[in-house]
Amino acid sequence: MLIDDTPVSLRLERLRPGIGRQLFAGPQPVAVPAWPGTVLRQLPLRLLDTLLDGLALAGVVPACAQAIRPRQLAHLAGRLCAEAALYALTGRYHSVGRQPDGAPCWPAGVLGSITHDVHGALALLAYRSDYRWLGIDVEPLLDEASCEAVRHACLTPRERRWLAAARRPAAEATLRFSAKEAYYKAVHPVLGGPMGFLDVELAPLEPGRQTFRVEPAANPVARDCLPVLEGRFVEESGRVVAVIAV
């Protein structure tokens, strides 16, 4: 069977001429901090769904052919953001492949990270010569039940104590979860191997600063192999975006 490796943005352009000019023409939904040498693209799912109204997506996103439409839109939006960022970075169209573990497969010399939630997708890219660690994650603010689940499953004992003293526990729990996701996306392509939420922890957050620091937890194995990385975050419109670019 032949595999069509044509960039999905070009395939969509054949189906909906002119769509490429509309996808990224509007303002950025979230004001994510910029790093020199990186390219960020964002795409709201509502806009994409409107532009693709009436179009079956199974043939456009074969990897999600059996999924419900919102899941297909999220996957498609992530790939479109990645391709748009690749074009801005390299000046060429590239398709974004998929590795066996589901992670994106980037062109040689390029480092990238994709994320999406129920509202939209984001992709952050850079050249490997400029950055070693690159990860981005977006999460909707956790409700009370989800906050409790994250507290038990994803936070170390020290983090739970810090969270108990937080002025806005749900927002801080969301950030800690999102920052760990961004950390995993940054570290896994370089180090490989399994890594759990309890292998790292965020240092206490400084009030008024939109920065975080992810450190190996009090675990000899984690401390020997996992780096300390700093990142930045933004909370806006009921969402948290965490970024690591080092």
What's the first-to-final CA gap in the chain, in angstroms?
A: 41
- 101 assigned ligand-binding residue: no
pLDDT tens digits along 57-67? 988 888 888 89
- 172 assigned ligand-binding residue: no
Adjacent-strand bridge partners of 7: none
pLDDT at res. 33: 82
Handedness of CA 136, 137, 141, 142 (dihedral sign): negative
pLDDT tens digits along 35-94? 999 999 999 999 999 999 999 998 888 888 889 999 999 999 999 999 999 999 999 999
- 151 assigned ligand-binding residue: no
Domain extents in the chain: 8-131, 139-245
CA distances from 103 to 11, 78, 100, 139 (A): 21, 12, 7, 18
Q: How far is the C-alpha of 79 from the C-alpha of 237, rounded, in Å?
A: 23
The two tokens of residue 55 are: 């179009």
Domains 8-131 and 139-245 belong to one CATH topology? yes
pLDDT tens digits along 187-230? 999 888 778 999 999 999 988 899 999 999 887 666 778 999 99
Handedness of CA 62, 63, 67, 70 (dihedral sign): negative
- 181 assigned ligand-binding residue: yes
Sheet with strand 200-202: strands edge to edge: 134-140, 239-245, 229-236, 211-216, 200-202
Residue 2 has pLDDT above 80, yes or no: no
- 115 assigned ligand-binding residue: yes
Rg (CA), the chain: 18
CATH assignment, 139-245: 3.90.470.20
**Contacts (Cβ under 8 Å, ≥6 apart) of 184:** 135, 195
Q: How far is the C-alpha of 49 from the C-alpha of 51, rounded, in Å?
A: 6
- 211 assigned ligand-binding residue: no
pLDDT tens digits along 12-42? 999 999 999 999 988 878 888 889 999 999 9
- 139 assigned ligand-binding residue: yes
- 41 assigned ligand-binding residue: no
pLDDT tens digits along 153-185? 999 999 999 999 999 999 999 999 999 999 999
CATH assignment, 8-131: 3.90.470.20
Contact 231, 179 (CB under 8 A): yes
- Amino acid residing at 168: R
pLDDT at res. 221: 64
- Region of 97 (left: φ > 0; alpha: ψ -120 to 50; beta: rest) is beta
Q: Is the pTM of this model over 0.85?
A: yes
